[in-house]
Amino acid sequence: MDTKQLLKKVRKIEIKTRRLSDHIFGGEYHSTFKGRGMTFSEVRQYQFGDDVRNIDWNVTARYSEPYVKVFEEERELTMMLMVDVSGSELFGTSDQFKSEVVTEIAATLAFSATQNNDKIGLILFSDKIELYIPPKKGRSHVLRIIRELIEFEPESKQTNLSEALKFLQNVMKKKAIVFVLSDFIANDYHQTMKIVSGKHDVTGIRIYDKREEEIPNLGMVQMQDEETGELMLVNTSSKTVRRNYSKFYHQKVEYYKESFNKAGAGTIDCRVDESYVKKLLGYFKRRG
């Protein structure tokens, strides 16, 4: 993709996702993810209905009329976007690949955080850390994140979520809002998830295609594993083959849900041909 095409695509995503974050998610995000507490802002004259416990007696004595202390929420938060860039994210049978939906969701979340003056960081992972962008504020920083999500080409096509979670734990010393975007076709991250969720506010967003849930009966078909590159002939007319695949797939989904739920983390399921807007908004409202 040349620079002109890239910039055009970034701009298109910005327009769509920024509109969503401005008009839909900004307020929901603010009410869902609280700051660290209340901090002193200013002193003003007492008004009917003010809490008398907030009266500043020193200022009141000085001006011979009541003044109160005004507090505001200390909102300095950090959002970390952890995005799976393994080979399976390039799957899609509808209008979009899973990776394209991931980019839109990540951009929407990033602009919602920016609207609340929070920092945003990015971790792209396969079976290793492919890219780490430390948290910063601002529109230009979000646009850089979107560019990386669009054009980044990972070195590996395989997945290791546990290693990505360990990396997060090492680089984020303070509590962060963490969104993990993946199809979660991965193993052995239950314990690491439990440790990370004990420190951070974690939500898993599973992006999947309806055609991944079961293999259609198409006879003898050559298939390629996107993560290993292995080519194989699969007899899709065999009920046993289709049943075993379906069992394998649903075991991965159950492992994901169980790992996140037992760790106290949130989960959202987004199918590529459905509205992720409704899923995100519903999740924010339930949490808020």
Query: Is residue 244 located within the same domain as residue 204?
Result: yes
Query: Is residue 69 located within the same domain as residue 196?
Result: no
Query: Is residue 51 located within the same domain as residue 106?
Result: no
pLDDT at 188: 93
Query: Is residue 56 located within the same domain as residue 133?
Result: no
Query: Is residue 127 located within the same domain as residue 226?
Result: yes
pLDDT at 154: 92
Domain limits at 226? 3-31+77-287
Query: Is residue 67 located within the same domain as residue 193?
Result: no
Q: What does pTM read for this prediction? A: 0.78
Query: Is residue 42 located within the same domain as residue 165?
Result: no
Query: Is residue 163 located within the same domain as residue 45?
Result: no
Query: Is residue 154 located within the same domain as residue 279?
Result: yes
Helix, strand, coil % in the chain, rounded to nearest 5 = 45, 25, 30
Reading the chain (288 residues) residue by residue, the pLDDT tens digits are: 666 777 777 877 887 777 777 666 656 666 667 655 555 567 888 888 888 888 999 988 988 999 888 765 555 789 999 999 987 665 555 567 888 899 999 999 998 888 888 899 999 999 999 999 999 998 899 999 999 999 999 999 899 999 999 999 999 988 999 999 999 988 899 999 999 999 999 999 999 988 887 777 787 777 766 666 677 788 778 888 888 888 989 999 999 999 999 999 999 999 998 888 889 888 888 886
Query: Is residue 268 located within the same domain as residue 170?
Result: yes
Rounded distance, CA 189 to CA 158, Å? 15
Number of domains present in the structure of the chain: 2
The DSSP element (H or E) to which 167 belongs, if any, is helix 161-171
Rounded to whole angstroms, what are the CA distances from 3 to 8, 12, 47, 114, 159? 9, 14, 57, 25, 29
CATH number of the domain to which 242 belongs = 3.40.50.410
> Strand 67-74 vs strand 37-45: parallel, antiparallel, or unpaired?
antiparallel
Q: Among the three residues 48, 74, 100, which one is the final residue of a domain in this structure?
A: 74
Query: Is residue 104 located within the same domain as residue 196?
Result: yes
Rounded distance, CA 227 to CA 98, Å? 14
Q: Left, alpha or beta for 80 (phi > 0: left; psi -120 to 50: alpha)? A: beta
Query: Is residue 227 located within the same domain as residue 104?
Result: yes
